[in-house]
Structure 1
Amino acid sequence: MRSALVVGTGLMGASVGLALRGRGIPVHLRDEDATAARTAEALGAGTRQAPAQPVDLAIVAVPPPLAGCVLADLQAEGVARHYTDIASVKSQVEHAAVALGCDMSRFIGGHPMADGARSGPLTARADLFDGCMWALTPSAATSTETLNTTLELVALCGATPVLMEAPAHDRAVALVSHAPHIVTSLVAMRLACADEREVSLAGAGLRDLTRIAQASPPLWLDVLSANAAAVADVLEELGADLGRVVAALRAIASTDEAKRSDGADLVGAVLHQGRAGGVRVSGTRGKPQRFDTVTVAVGDQPGELARLFADIHRTGVNIEDIRLEHGVGRGLAHLSIASGRTESVREALSRQGWRA
């Protein structure tokens, strides 16, 4: 990548600019908020000067409801060869881009899973994405060159790419990010009206739990509105679980020994399962993990790479990383997958007509 344009200079956009500038990539900045753009420029995230020629990659760093329109406007201007976004919801952006007639072969959705509790360019930093997962959601039309360029962006920012379909991404973030934000806000809401002496007893655990509730409400309203159905599904299941726990605790408080025992068993089971789930999250980063490589021959016709991702998705195996090699009329996709799954993936792909 030789040049980039970042549109939107809040925490995420300015951090992308800082990361790229730290790797020597010229970055141009654009934002309707002139103050935010000037601040990001002063911090070293790039220049507000318009590029003299199309950049290699335009990064749309605006809220989900705006991303599709901004993408359409940028493509109409011809400001870049390739385009991505970093909004936290992907289906809405993809649907809007299609409806607005965007060139989907030159666009790929993206979402870095970085800490978004703060906002504004003054909170940006070059290492924000170091070690974080960065979801990429290619559509059926996404070209190999666009994917490669965006993979380079992810690598330059120090993140790890994870390839998913847009609906799968939105269901995942509803579970791991959006619904937890609502739950945290509900807990913090109880504290807002609590007695001062009660709040004074709060320890580090509660501070950690409620930290994300301090994020920008307007920003999070945009996010939750864009993924409302998926978040509601998770919260509905959580509400049913909560109802069972409430009933179990009432039983423990009763004088009936059988009810007390049944209630304690249920609450204990929840605590054990919660601990197991927490271990999975705490072990996500930094845990040594073995991967194998499956190499697949891919044609250069539009949509071929997206078809490959869809066929692999049907095997139930995640693509943890990808490296592409170009050839004349054909390329090679080197796919990193969990160790021990290579043979089943090869067989499944062979049945779909791929040379793996």
Structure 2
Amino acid sequence: MALVPSPVRIIGTGLIGGSLGMALGRSGVEVQVEDVSPGTAALAVELGVGFLPDEDSPDPALVLVAAPPDVSAALVDRALRAWPEALVADVASVKRTVLDGLRTRARPQDLPRYIGAHPMAGREVSGVIAARADLFQGRPFVVVPHEGTLPRAVTALKGLAAEIGAVPVAMDAADHDTAVAQVSHVPQVMSSLLGATLLAPSETALGLAGQGLRDTTRIADSDPRLWVEILGANAEAVAEVLDAVRERLDGVLDALETLQGDPDPGTGSRRALADLVAAGNRGVRRIPGKHGGATDAFATLVVLVPDRPGELARLLTEVGQIGVNLEDLRLEHELGRAVGLAHISIDASREDLLTRELTERGWKVADA
């Protein structure tokens, strides 16, 4: 039995729509593409997202609207009316706005065929040219039914998630929007705020930047037009989280001002700063690893990798030969440095083994 109804019509061939088409096409699903821009649609076809339907093409069994939140409700309503037998889903990053918009415009008999969805994947670059068939591998795929959604729509979307290698997670629209404010939208705001501070330093100062700054500002290089729509559509939930951030920031400023005027360790300001950093430690440890659960079970080794072709590949091969499974990898390489730093996350119980074996094979493990 097919997991995904076919054919699938994708309306909107940007990064997410394009990646969905590539992933579904690779699984053997017939994918039709549609975009407000004929040039973008033609490029999507050339890149292997799907094909342009004509008047002889079969009606879609499933329609995926991959458009910004402010236009998704109108496009979903149009699809519900155009194909009265099709299931219709949107994959916008905010769900209450779309659902509320549909409740005011869609015909009551059409609403049961609508279901919300949100693949929790993306890149800091946008457009169909950045689309990838493996974008959703191992990532959560949120399925957001409303109270009247047909059971077969829920089944179809969970099947779609499985087909593209994602992990289906069911939530209602309000809980989804609160969750993405916390784990996606506010991080974007914080990264952009930090990135904006970099307009002030001199070139000399910026030359001192290390990996920490790159890590915390990576997503600041995002599409302003898209994020204006996302943040506007989820303004209430984002503002609630940022209120808590502002309260913590006020505490940091109070502590720093106190330390400027009175460095006496008895003021409690040092304790306030330490508490903030410690709270950050605890929060970061709650982020699930690839197998779920807290990250306490993982350890990170830092291995020096010579700046020569093939050295990183050799390191990863030898980690596999030792019999240790790689949980995560981050490569740090500064300009002018003769070596890169490979940050290797592994099961904590295997740390001593891997450190010993790599050292015996000639690798330099930091602090080993």
User: Are residues 1:151 and 2:158 paired?
Assistant: yes
Query: What is the aligned counterpart of 1:52 among 37, 50, 57?
Result: 57
| 2:80 and 2:113 in contact (8 A); partners too | no
C-alpha offsets along residues 303-353 of structure 1, whole Å, 9 cap, x if unaligned?
xxxxxxxxxxxxxxxxxxxxxxxxxxxxxxxxxxxxxxxxxxxxxxxxxxx
SS in 2 for 1:88: coil
Identity %: 34
Query: What is the aligned counterpart of 2:145 among 138, 144, 168?
Result: 138
Quote the residue 2:333 is aligned against.
none
Residues matched between the structures, number: 287
User: 1:264-343 counterparts in 2 under 5 A?
Assistant: 264-281=270-287, 283-287=288-292
Q: TM-score, normalised by structure 2?
A: 0.75
Query: What is the aligned counterpart of 1:68 among 73, 76, 88?
Result: 73
Query: What is the aligned counterpart of 1:24 among 24, 28, 53?
Result: 28
User: Are residues 1:40 and 2:44 paired?
Assistant: yes
Relative distance call for 1:80 and 1:187 in structure 2 (3 A) is farther
SS in 1 for 2:201: coil
How far the C-alpha of 1:79 sits from its partner, in A, is 6.8
User: Are residues 1:224 and 2:228 paired?
Assistant: no
How far the C-alpha of 1:287 sits from its partner, in A, is 3.6
User: What letter matches 1:15 in structure 2?
Assistant: S
Q: Tell me, in whole angstroms, the C-alpha distance in 1 between the residues paired with 2:199 and 2:44.
A: 34
| 1:114 and 1:132 in contact (8 A); partners too | yes
**Which of the pair has more CA radius of gyration?**
2
User: What letter matches 2:62 in structure 1?
Assistant: L
Q: Tell me, in whole angstroms, the C-alpha distance in 2 between the residues paired with 1:79 and 1:43.
A: 30
How far the C-alpha of 1:230 sits from its partner, in A, is 1.1
How far the C-alpha of 1:288 sits from its partner, in A, is 6.6
| 1:55 and 1:79 in contact (8 A); partners too | no
Q: Tell me, in whole angstroms, the C-alpha distance in 2 between the residues paired with 1:22 and 1:6.
A: 15
RMSD over equivalenced CA pairs, Å? 1.6
How far the C-alpha of 1:54 sits from its partner, in A, is 2.2
Query: What is the aligned counterpart of 1:10 among 14, 17, 28?
Result: 14
How far the C-alpha of 1:249 sits from its partner, in A, is 2.1
Q: TM-score, normalised by structure 1?
A: 0.78
Q: Tell me, in whole angstroms, the C-alpha distance in 2 between the residues paired with 1:125 and 1:258.
A: 53
Any stretches of 5+ residues in structure 2 without a counterpart? 295-368
Quote the residue 1:339 is aligned against.
none
Any stretches of 5+ residues in structure 1 without a counterpart? 290-356
Structure with more contact order per residue of length (Cα contacts < 8 Å, sep ≥ 6): 1
Q: Tell me, in whole angstroms, the C-alpha distance in 2 between the residues paired with 1:89 and 1:255.
A: 46
Runs of 4+ in 1 over 4 A off after TM superposition: none
